[in-house]
Amino acid sequence: MQRSFLLYFLITLTGCIFIGRLFQLQIIRGDNYDPIHNAAVKIEYAYPERGYIYDRNGKLLVANQLSYDVMVQPNKVKPLDTLEFCRLLKIDKQNFLKRFKKAEKYATYLPSVFLKQLAKEDFAYLQEKLHKYAGFYIQKRIIRDYPIKAAANVLGYIGEVNEEKAKKSNYYQQGELEGKDGVERQYENILRGRKGKKYFRRNNLNKVTGSFENGKYDTLAQNGQDLTLTLDIDLQIYAQKLMTGKRGGIVAIEPSSGEILALVTAPSYDPNMLVGRKRSKNSVILFKDSITKPSYDRGLLAAYPPGSPFKMMNALIGLQENVINQKTTFRCYGGFRYGYRKDEFMKCHCDIYARPIKLKTAIAKSCNSYFSNTYKRILEKDNKPTEGQNNWSKHVKSFGLGNYLGYDLPAGVPGLIPDGKYYDDRLNYSWNGSSIISNAIGQGEILTTPIQLANFTAAIANRGYFYTPHIVKKIDNEKIDNENFTTKKNTTIDKEYFKPVVEAMFEVFKTGTGKYSQVKGIKICGKTGTAENFILVDGEKEQLEDHSILVAFAPKDNPKIALAVFVENGGYGSTIAAPITSLIIEKYLNGQISSRNRYREQNMLAISLQEVYDKQIPKQEEIASGTK
Amino acid sequence: MRQERNNIFAGIDWILVILFFALVAFGWLNIYAASKTETDTSLLSFSTKYGKQLIFISLTIPLIVTILFFNSKFYEQFASIFYFLSIFLLLMLFPFGKEINGAKSWFNFGVLGLQPSEFAKAFTALAIAKLLSDRLYSLKLIKNQIKAFIIIFFPAFLIFLQPDAGSAVIYLSFFFVLNREGLTSNYILLGTAFIMLFILTIYFGYKWMILSTFLLLTILVFYLIYRGGKRFFRFNWHKIISVYLVIGLFIFGTGYVYKNILPSHQKDRFDILLGKKIDKRGIGYNSYQSQLTISSGGLKGKGFLKGDLTQGDFVPEQHTDYIFSTVGEEWGFIGTSLVVILFMALMYRIIYLAETHTNKFGRIYGYSVASILFFHVIVNIGMVIGLLPTVGIPLPFFSYGGSSLWGFTILLFIFIRLDAHKNYDW
């Protein structure tokens, strides 16, 4: 018996190992086995039609069109007249061989795309001849069509799902299309609908041998739902036109609802560029351009210090915290001294020397000293500046600043509204209001985006509340019921304090920096501002022409539109931003530009800042190459 | 006594017979599932795989009766004749064999093919039993060891030349028999050690292996010198040097052969098994598909004829070498472990019975039968469940094929015959 122990032992050991391995294969791994999604089941998809997109007035913005792909299944291809075939497809023979090899490499017994998106004319001609070429056939695909060549940044585009995502996803297959940006991406699930599926049994040669479980799992395709945007496409087109030759962004909101009326970034592009055969060539132009950045939505992403428009914020907080009232006066001596050293002095251009200045005048004339004093008082109201700054920051954030606004578009940045801790962490001395006085006039650490400023303006227009801005108005003609967009958001400032601020903003367009951009019959309230901007040259900051910023709403009572205009290197707000603002407001409220203001329209269409932009280019190149 | 002797079924071990028929029947059900197509209807027909197999199975009955008809003594006396007959058949393959898949392993008689290597195993077992059962024979003598090696390796060598490496490997199973009959265990230990070295060398590359084994050896030698003093070195230096040489040459040779001489398809088999290469479409396709198919069965399986991967022919060679994957898909973990347990029971029973033989011939033959079955089962199932490299040998009683089925039937029933008579004095 002893001698046979070895074999007994080995048989037992092997048996245990085998059963263990089978347990691992069948019980542990078998658990993840999907009876439907495996090699023996073939799924055929029926593709639904993607939903259309309309503007707020029912104008069609995005529709669908058919596109034709030439498909090939290599094992069915018979010897063919390559020359004629190449001529039909308008490719050369080398290209033909390359494409054919690629298809063979993928799988000889499966169809794959041979040539994408034929032109319609080519298709008609090819279809007549195609029967001669076994193994080749044409597959229709639905692609997007944009009847109106505007709002590309809002609409976004669709493209093939990337490989990684297709692998992980339980919906998308490789080669399928999905929304890549803008509304197309944000509302992908609504627009795309649901694919229909039919299950078949198949064998190892990909031959269908029958239906799977009598079609128990089969589903029908469900078409996508249509979207109605809040966008007024006429206004959008007009605003885009006004921005020709300039870089920047415009965001217009209806204050009473938070609906985005126009969202402009300049330069922009024709959305049809990302459809069809020229697509890959065009996408290089659009996505690789690091200077004009046509694919960068400045209205949503350009975060800069807001400058003077922020003075209204400090006025409101000052009033709410009762550190100033309408009658409070400060004197300005050509600036504000915040320290004893010579350079610790903030200049002011209000030109009211040493006379008492009240709030209304301070806003209208944009007096830096007045708001520096106000800001200091806000911070010093509490004993510790940290707490004062926290309190200030709380008020500011209630306007939707300093964080993602929560609108329904994929692009966005939070901006920055510093609180007390922010400075505690960064300043290693005991700081106070004077240390961070730039915040008083919207400079310093504060960062806001045009859409945040537009929303801030809408909150002023509403005298104390706002609705989160949003771009979609209806889904399949049903009004949206997203609570985030339909509930009123109150700011921490009481209604009564808005009155003097609104009056002051009205004054800006009546007598102040905006007075040359008045529109007869429309009471515009607004505020111009500039954001300083620097580039690094030789490791040193070099100041460029200021970006101009303007916020406005109109009419003063019962406001219909609030907007923020941002023009890169636009200089003083009064020269470019203000006329653009007034034109947009006039167009929106009156439907047209009165003959009296035509000259203004002509001027704005003609102005180009290209020269200013061109000046920056060599510098940027030198920085990139490190030669300077 | 005499009457009982005349009854050919007297004294046979029914447990083995039942196990045999259970395996054959279950095997056929799976062959049916694996080779069924939509159109076929007739069961007994040469036009389908399962029809042919059913005919092969029915022909085992006269074969069994014939085997049981002869006296035990007959097998002992004619052992050498059978052995030489199988050697003759193996030799005749070289001029007359039909080449299938690059190997000349078959004689072709119209619809029927015959594979002599499947029968040679049983006859080699008879020959070994005959040699070792001689009263004057002792495996302690090198001369006798060499005799045994020649009997074993001559047919193995002929089969290897066909070339059918898989079937040749099976002959290594006779080492268990020799070991059982007194051959020192060093052969098996040494063999195992070299196989381990072989696998590690392929896995890590020969440079690292030479370095690390030499390091280990050196530590061992220093330890021995420390224990044994200077005299140890003085008396053993030639042994130490030869150990270094043999191991060094083996590793280097393995690395060289693997890299430069081994055909790339065989190299790939090792690479895939050792996880050095992942390939779901090419050479690794079989292994990947069979594991996937087995996994898909889960605990209870999808049911007879309901395995969609089996029905869709996704596993190549599923009715022959990969038949176990059908069991996995349609009968699940319950089915596969049952098959493993049935084989274990069969082997246990054979060894147990063999050990009760007072007659040396019967014991050695029985031990050979168990060892051969063991090797077949371990290599085949190990391959199908992805534990061993792809080696094409059939699963005994299960896989499609007449020669294989009859070969194993002969192998098993000669033992059953010997076992039935073990209590008689021959």
Measure A100 CA to nearest chain B CA, in Å: 20
Half-sphere exposure of B83 (CA within 13 A, CB side): 21
Predicted local distance difference test score (pLDDT) of residue A200 = 84
Predicted local distance difference test score (pLDDT) of residue B425 = 55
Tokens of B322: 């990969």
pLDDT band, residue A44 (cuts 50/70/90):
confident
**Domain identity same for B35 and B121:** yes
To the question of domain A234-625 being in CATH 3.40.640.10, the answer is no
Predicted local distance difference test score (pLDDT) of residue A610 = 83
**Domain identity same for B30 and B153:** yes
Alpha-carbon span A369 to A346, nearest angstrom: 8
Question: DSSP labels for A459-478?
Answer: HHHTTSEE---BSEEEETTE
A18 touches chain B (CB under 8 A): yes
Which of the 8 DSSP states describes residue A428?
A: -
Boundary (domain end) residue, out of B262, B297, B313: B262
A15 interaction partners in chain B (CB closer than 8 Å): 340-341, 343-344
User: How remote is the C-alpha of B88 from its chain's centroid?
Assistant: 22
Between residues B281 and A608, the one the model is more confident about: A608
Nearest alpha carbon to residue A465 among A527, A526, A400, A406:
A400
Predicted local distance difference test score (pLDDT) of residue A141 = 77
Q: Where are the alpha helices (DSSP H) in A415-464?
A: 420-426, 450-461
Residue A483 burial (C-beta neighbours within 10 Å; 0-12, 13-18, 19+): exposed
Largest CA distance in chain B: 82
Predicted local distance difference test score (pLDDT) of residue B282 = 61
Whether B284 is covered by a domain: the verdict is yes
Tokens of B156: 């193995």
Nearest alpha carbon to residue A179 among A163, A160, A194, A193:
A160
Alpha-carbon span A251 to A247, nearest angstrom: 14
Interface test with B, best of A26, A27, A43, A212 (most B CBs within 10 A): A26
Q: Which pairing describes strands A227-229 and A53-54: parallel, antiparallel, or unpaired? A: parallel
Residue B276 pLDDT > 80, yes or no?
no
* Closest-approach residue (CA) in chain A for B386: A21
Range in A268-277, A550-559, B161-170, B263-272 the model is least confident about = B263-272
Between residues A578 and B101, the one the model is more confident about: A578
Alpha-carbon span A56 to B23, nearest angstrom: 75
Whether B354 is covered by a domain: the verdict is yes
pLDDT band, residue B3 (cuts 50/70/90):
very low
A40 interaction partners in chain B (CB closer than 8 Å): 308-309, 311-312, 314
**Domain identity same for B229 and B280:** no
For residue range B183-218, list pLDDT tens digits in order.
888 888 888 888 888 888 877 777 888 888 888 888
**Domain identity same for B8 and B35:** yes
Q: What angle in degrees, to the nearest 10, is found between the helix axes of B14-35 and B49-69?
A: 160
Between residues B14 and B162, the one the model is more confident about: B14
Predicted local distance difference test score (pLDDT) of residue A536 = 65
Residue A625 pLDDT > 70, yes or no?
no
Q: Residues B302, B326: contact at Cβ < 8 Å?
A: no
Alpha-carbon span A109 to A103, nearest angstrom: 10
Between residues A140 and A488, the one the model is more confident about: A488
pLDDT band, residue B2 (cuts 50/70/90):
very low
Q: What angle in degrees, to the nearest 10, is found between the helix axes of B116-133 and B142-160?
A: 180
Residue B159 burial (C-beta neighbours within 10 Å; 0-12, 13-18, 19+): buried
Q: Above pLDDT 90, what percent of chain A?
A: 35
Q: Do B387 and A4 touch (CB under 8 A)?
A: no
pLDDT, chain A, mean: 86
pLDDT band, residue A623 (cuts 50/70/90):
very low
**Domain identity same for B246 and B165:** no
Alpha-carbon span B79 to B123, nearest angstrom: 7
Predicted local distance difference test score (pLDDT) of residue A87 = 85
Tokens of B396: 């005994």
Boundary (domain end) residue, out of B211, B235, B262: B262
pLDDT band, residue A313 (cuts 50/70/90):
very high
Looking at the structure of chain B, the number of domains it has is 2
| pTM (global) more than 0.90 | no
A33 interaction partners in chain B (CB closer than 8 Å): 295-296, 298
Alpha-carbon span A394 to A301, nearest angstrom: 23
Residue range(s) of every CATH 3.90.1310.10 domain in chain A: 42-229
Nearest alpha carbon to residue A403 among A437, A436, A447, A467:
A447
* Closest-approach residue (CA) in chain A for B311: A203
Boundary (domain end) residue, out of B232, B262, B292: B262
Which CATH number is associated with domain A42-229? 3.90.1310.10
Residue range(s) of every CATH 3.40.710.10 domain in chain A: 234-625
Question: DSSP labels for A607-626?
Answer: ---HHHHHHHHHHHHHHHHT
Whether B191 is covered by a domain: the verdict is no
A19 touches chain B (CB under 8 A): yes
pLDDT band, residue A624 (cuts 50/70/90):
very low
**Domain identity same for B350 and B407:** yes
Structural domain of B311: 2-184+275-420
Predicted local distance difference test score (pLDDT) of residue A103 = 83
Interface test with A, best of B186, B294, B296, B381 (most A CBs within 10 A): B296
For residue range A563-622, list pLDDT tens digits in order.
999 998 887 777 888 999 999 999 999 998 998 889 999 988 988 888 888 777 655 554
**Domain identity same for B360 and B240:** no
Which of the 8 DSSP states describes residue A194?
A: B
For residue range A154-186, list pLDDT tens digits in order.
999 988 888 788 778 878 877 788 898 899 999
**Domain identity same for B291 and B415:** yes
Range in A45-49, A108-112, B229-233 the model is least confident about = B229-233
pLDDT band, residue A628 (cuts 50/70/90):
very low
Predicted local distance difference test score (pLDDT) of residue B366 = 94
Predicted local distance difference test score (pLDDT) of residue A184 = 93
pLDDT band, residue A37 (cuts 50/70/90):
low
Run of H or E including A562: strand A561-567
pLDDT, chain B, mean: 86
For residue range A496-551, list pLDDT tens digits in order.
999 999 999 999 888 888 888 888 889 999 998 887 777 766 667 777 788 888 99
Q: Do A25 and B295 touch (CB under 8 A)?
A: yes
Q: Which amino acid is at A530?
A: T
B337 touches chain A (CB under 8 A): yes
Q: Do A25 and B309 touch (CB under 8 A)?
A: no
**Domain identity same for B252 and B221:** yes
**Domain identity same for B227 and B307:** no
**Domain identity same for B253 and B134:** no
Mean pLDDT score, B241-246: 86
**Domain identity same for B151 and B214:** no
